[in-house]
Amino acid sequence: MSTEVRPVRTENEFDRWSDALDIGFHVPQNRGDGRRRRPRHPDLDRVWAAFDGERVVGTFVSLPMELTLPGLRRIPLDGVSAVSVAATHRRQGVLSRMMAGEMAAARERGECVAALIAAEYPIYGRYGFGPATESAQWRADARDLRFRRELPGRIELVDADTALAEAPVLYDRIRAEQPGAVSRDYWRWAQDTGHDLREGATAPQDVLHALCRDAAGEIVGYARYRFAERWVNQRPNNTIHALNLMATDALYEARLWKYLADHDWVTEVVGPEIDRFDPLWRDLLADRRMAVAGEVWDFLWLRPLDPAAFLSARTYAKADRIVLRVQDKDGYATGTYAVESAADGSGECVRVQDLPDLTVPVDVLGSISLGGYSASRYLALGLAEEHTPGAADRLSTMLSTPLPPHNPMIF
């Protein structure tokens, strides 16, 4: 094949990469956006392209990000995004070549894990990625939404400038306390608040921003939302869509839901597309059936590149030692590792020559690494192999977390 896969080298190539991305993501009307997009990717070595002659026929980017692990250590994360291949060149191995290039580069840079959000489920398992967190969109009946206890927090409508000043700072506090959460670039907040727009685009005027403050006046929650009007037989049947809803604590999250439900004319509040699969605020409802989950889907996918470094960075629920063999057809994670944890939760993972207690493919290691899915689950499905009876259950206990991991941000 004459297609060349390599990082972009010049500004002109970046502009063509940007246009190819907009075509690949079916927004050709957005072309010409290269100059504005460029500052988001200061390191061109992370911007992969496939070239057919002068033409860019594949796009792929690696974002330097952070991931919060159980135990709350934050580690560097290779965030894969902007993946597209031209319809003329699809299914010819272009994605596979871009992925191979970036995974080798990430390993070279010393990043121990890569992550992505999959547009379609079947694409990325073959490259060693496994879903590690789950998300859901919740819909609440707004007509009589009552909670089991008094909810703290004071709500205040703010303008987009204030939202841009406060929301990123709040999110950084939230993600620091949430295993599974990833960092979020400032430009995405600027986009959300109508500050970073394509030339000719106008900021949406129908979006509102609300902050929630605690008793001391500190900002503890934020919602970005819009109203969708619908009347039936001259009776209100309107919806509020929360595009973003986040708080430091489930009580403040519930407070924001209540604020949105408290609007007259509104019969339903639809939450963000990427809420927790099992959010705590739901348990605060006087009637839990007032909230139902819409779409439930896999969200953050992880691809361990260096299991020893990755698993040494998290903490563990119980003291134990399991020898784990990892299978990886691409080789990065292949090996046998002892995962050993102490009673204080600290742990270490090192390469060993021992006989394994359990064998898992690398995508399964990605799925179980944050505790969102258990090793026992994959054993039951025949997707992990046990050599020491009980090893999968013991590893599941070690990796488990009191609350499921959650990533509330797309990238």
Ligand X SMILES: CC(C)(COP(=O)(O)OP(=O)(O)OC[C@H]1O[C@@H](n2cnc3c(N)ncnc32)[C@H](O)[C@@H]1OP(=O)(O)O)[C@@H](O)C(=O)NCCC(=O)NCCS
When the beta carbons of 10 and 88 are compared against ligand X, the nearer one is 88
Distance of closest approach, residue 27 Cβ to ligand X, in angstroms? 11
* Contacting residue, 42, 122, 217, 382, with ligand X by CB under 6 A: 122
Residue 90 makes contact with ligand X by CB under 6 A: yes
Q: How far, in Å, CA of 400 to CA of 372, rounded?
A: 7
When the beta carbons of 90 and 377 are compared against ligand X, the nearer one is 90
Residue 274 makes contact with ligand X by CB under 6 A: no
Q: How far, in Å, CA of 183 to CA of 173, rounded?
A: 11
Distance of closest approach, residue 239 Cβ to ligand X, in angstroms? 28
Q: Which amino acid is at 139?
A: R
Q: What are phi and psi of 209, to 5 degrees?
A: -125, 130
Q: How far is CA 334 from CA 175, 203, 266, 361, 382, in A?
A: 30, 48, 54, 9, 19
Residue 1 makes contact with ligand X by CB under 6 A: no
Residue 91 makes contact with ligand X by CB under 6 A: yes
What is the chain's length?
411
Specify which residues 60 forms β-bridges with: 48
Distance of closest approach, residue 151 Cβ to ligand X, in angstroms? 37
User: String of b and e for 244-253 (b: at least 16 CB within 10 Å)?
Assistant: bbbbbbbbbb
* Contacting residue, 96, 237, 334, 388, with ligand X by CB under 6 A: 96
When the beta carbons of 118 and 308 are compared against ligand X, the nearer one is 118
* Contacting residue, 1, 27, 119, 296, with ligand X by CB under 6 A: 119
Among positions 10-39, residues that touch ligand X (CB under 6 A) are 24
When the beta carbons of 95 and 311 are compared against ligand X, the nearer one is 95
Residue 88 makes contact with ligand X by CB under 6 A: no
Distance of closest approach, residue 98 Cβ to ligand X, in angstroms? 8
Binding segment for ligand X (CB under 6 A), chosen from 112-120, 358-366, 367-375, 393-401, is 112-120
Count of beta carbons in the 10 Å neighbourhood of residue 370: 24
Among positions 366-405, residues that touch ligand X (CB under 6 A) are none
Give the residue numbers annotated as catalytic, written as ranges: 124, 411
When the beta carbons of 84 and 178 are compared against ligand X, the nearer one is 84
Residue 61 makes contact with ligand X by CB under 6 A: no
Binding segment for ligand X (CB under 6 A), chosen from 14-22, 86-94, 287-295, 316-324, is 86-94
Pairing of β 113-117 and β 74-85: parallel
- Tell me, by CB under 6 A, how many residues bind ligand X: 17
Are 398 and 208 within 8 A, CB to CB?
Answer: no
Specify which residues 156 forms β-bridges with: 211
Residue 118 makes contact with ligand X by CB under 6 A: yes
Residue 182 makes contact with ligand X by CB under 6 A: no
Count of beta carbons in the 10 Å neighbourhood of residue 219: 21
Distance of closest approach, residue 19 Cβ to ligand X, in angstroms? 15
Among positions 334-373, residues that touch ligand X (CB under 6 A) are none
* Contacting residue, 56, 63, 65, 83, with ligand X by CB under 6 A: 83
Q: How far, in Å, CA of 102 to CA of 95, rounded?
A: 11
- Using left for φ > 0, alpha for ψ between -120 and 50, and beta otherwise, residue 298 falls in beta
**Strand order across the beta sheet in which 55-68 lies:** 4-7, 47-52, 55-68, 74-85, 113-117, 300-304, 130-131
- Cβ neighbors of 309 (< 8 A, separation 6 or more) are 112, 349
Residue 92 makes contact with ligand X by CB under 6 A: yes
Binding segment for ligand X (CB under 6 A), chosen from 119-127, 133-141, 263-271, 350-358, is 119-127
* Contacting residue, 39, 42, 54, 120, with ligand X by CB under 6 A: 120
Distance of closest approach, residue 94 Cβ to ligand X, in angstroms? 4
Give one DSSP letter per residue of 312-361, joined into a string.
HSS--SS-EEEEEEEE-TTSSS-EEEEEEE-TTS-EEEEE--SPPSEEEE
Residue 93 makes contact with ligand X by CB under 6 A: yes
Residue ranges binding ligand X (CB under 6 A): 24, 83-85, 90-96, 118-120, 122-123, 126
